[in-house]
Amino acid sequence: MSTRHAKITAVSHYLPERRVTNKDLEKIVDTSDNWIFERTGIRERRVAAKGEATSDLGAAAAKRLLEKRGIDATELDLIIVATVTPDMFFPSSACLVQTKIGAKHAWGFDLSGACSGFVYAVATGAQFIVSGAYKKVLVVGADVMTSIIDFQDRATCVLFGDGAGAVLLEAAEQGERGIIDFVLRSDGSGGQYLYMPGGGSLNPSSRESIEKKMHYVHQDGRNVFKFAVRGMAEISQEILKKHGLSAKDLKLYIPHQANLRIINAAVEKMGLAKCQVAVNIDRYANTTAGTIPICLSEAVESKQIQSGDLVLLASFGAGFTWGSLLLRWEN
């Protein structure tokens, strides 16, 4: 009995046109270009236009993907949108993406895994391919983080940007491996260190919640840094060891782009060379669920990865959530 595998057959990304540099932020908050870059590795970020929502970014990335793959949206069976900034509580952003791209035969849902959302979503979508239930699954990682950032808080407003990436999952051909494995984790006790307290059933929107700035991201940077470095490195090493691999076997390591110091610390723990690591945080900042697929898309476009290369994705985010996904690029 043959085993079915899922693979990524196309990848794309979309970024808003507006660029906001560290120099721009100097004008609105007590910070400096040097302070931001030295602590985060960020030089600029993209910011969505007024009225440009998560589903707009996701739909734009999806349309580019469909064009690259040469298929029509009506061929899609399922749409999963990983996001923590949905257009609204309901309907889901997946439903909004569906109608914007004309995927009238697909159903869909949103997945909330914070910065691990894309890895969670790919692992989830792959199961629909492996089971034989569906032939084409669209996975989108998209966030408009600037919509939930307090631009008077210099500790958080410098960290985030807006963007989206998308992949298409299909069955691997005979002899191909595609997605090899994934390891996913969560620890709810870490939720106190990175969260948005307002807007849900615990603290519904009110005059008081707005006055207390409860609808913005709240972060304990020191604790997040400590857990992120250990979490990403350990889960990456775990999946490699499970498959008898080492860091030198990887063509490319694509970590979540939250902070360059976190990336560098995790990479050092793993013993990776700089040429094996995808980094674009300097240009886009932290786009949450968008960081990994944007990095992957750029790596494919620049031919940094080619057919047969081993690629490892790794993430860490609010929840706490973290995960790794190992794949062989078969495109």
Amino acid making up residue 107: W
Q: Residue 34 and residue 28: Cα distance in Å, rounded?
A: 16
Q: Residue 9 and residue 125: Cα distance in Å, rounded?
A: 13
> Cα dihedral angle (182, 194, 48, 46), rounded to 10 degrees?
-80
Burial class, 290, CB count within 10 angstroms (exposed 0-12 / middle 13-18 / buried 19+)? buried
Q: How far apart are the first and last CA of the chain?
A: 25
Q: What are the tokens at 309?
A: 């290369």
DSSP class of 3: P
Can you give the three-state secondary structure of 129-195, one letter per residue? HHCCCCCCEEEEEEEEHHHHCCCCCHHHHCCECEEEEEEEEEECCCCCCCEEEEEEEECHHHHHHEE
Cβ-contact 319, 191 below 8 angstroms: yes
Cβ-contact 261, 159 below 8 angstroms: no
Cis omega (within 30 of 0) for bond into 90: no
Residues forming the active site: 115, 256, 286
For residue 25, the SS3 value is helix
Cis omega (within 30 of 0) for bond into 91: yes
Contacts of 151 (CB under 8 A, 6+ apart): 28, 29, 157
User: How would you label 120-158 residue by residue, b for 16+ Cβ within 10 Å and e otherwise?
Assistant: bbbbbbbebbbeeebebbbbbbbbbbbbbbeeeebebbb
